[in-house]
Amino acid sequence: MTQAVDRFRYRVTFGKQGPLIYTSHLDIARVWERVLRRARVPLMYSQGFNPRPKIHLAAALPLGYASTCELLDMWLEQPLNQLEATVEELRSAAPAGLVIDQIEAIPLKEPALQTQVRWADYVIVLDEHLKDSDLTALIDGILEREEVWRERRKKTVDIRPLIEKLWVEKDEGQRLVMRLSISQDLGSVRPDEVLDEMGLDVPHARITRSRIWFASTSS
C-alpha cells in the first residue's frame, strides 16, 4: 500500500467557552472532526483499517477550564485559498462554545505541537476577594519555597520548578495570573494545584487559559 504524503498544514487558534469547558480533551478532538467535515475541509487521513483525520491538539485543557488560545494543527489534501472564508465556514459549523479565531499556514516540517509547547498563562478570577497586599503575600510565599510537593495518583511530585511566574492584574478587577509548565519534558502542573497550595478557594475559581508559549518564544 502506498504511504500517504503530507501535503498542506494549517494551524487553527480557537477558544473553549460555555458548555464546552466540561468536554474532555478526547471529545474535543471528536468535536473538531465533525466541525471540519461539516465545513468540507479537505482533510488528510491516516492509513490502515480505521483511517482517522490528521489533526493534533497542542495540550490538554483540564475539565472546567475555559480558554481563548487553544491550538489545533490539521493536514490537508488541498490548500486553503481563502483563509477568512474557511474561518467563517468553521464558525458556522461549530457548536456553542467553540470560538474560532484564526487559521494560518504552517511549514510541514515544523515539529509537532505537543513537543513545542512549554508554558501556559492562566487568568484566575477568585470567588473570594482579597486585599492586594494579602494576595501578593500568598504569591511571595509560594514563590519563595524551594520545593512544593504534591501527592498525585501514583507518585509525589515537586511542582515548584513548574511554576514560572505568578502575578496580579487589576485592569478588569482583581485577577491572579499564573505561568505554568505544560511541557512534555519538564512535566505539567494545574492552576488548581497551585491555588490549593496557596490556601485559596479552588472549587469556585474561574480559570481561563489565555496564552500558550512555545519553547522557541521568550517568556
Domains in the chain: boundaries: 8-110, 117-214
Range with the lowest mean pLDDT among 45-59, 74-88, 98-112? 45-59
CATH number 1.20.58.100 given to 8-110: no
| Residue 31 Cα to chain centre, angstroms | 16
Average pLDDT (181-198) is 95
Whole-model pTM: value is 0.92
Residues 122 and 210 sit within 8 Å (Cβ to Cβ): yes
CATH class of the structural domain 117-214:
alpha beta
Provide the phi-psi class of 26: left if phi over 0, else alpha when psi is between -120 and 50, else beta.
alpha
What would the pLDDT profile of 74-97 be if each residue is shown by its tens digit?
A: 999 999 999 999 999 999 999 999
pLDDT at 1: 42
What percent of the chain has pLDDT above 70? Answer: 96
Split at pLDDT 50, 70, 90, the class of 219 is low
Report how far residue 79's alpha carbon sits from residue 106's, in angstroms, rounded to the nearest whole number: 11
- Evaluate whether 8-110 and 117-214 have a shared fold: yes
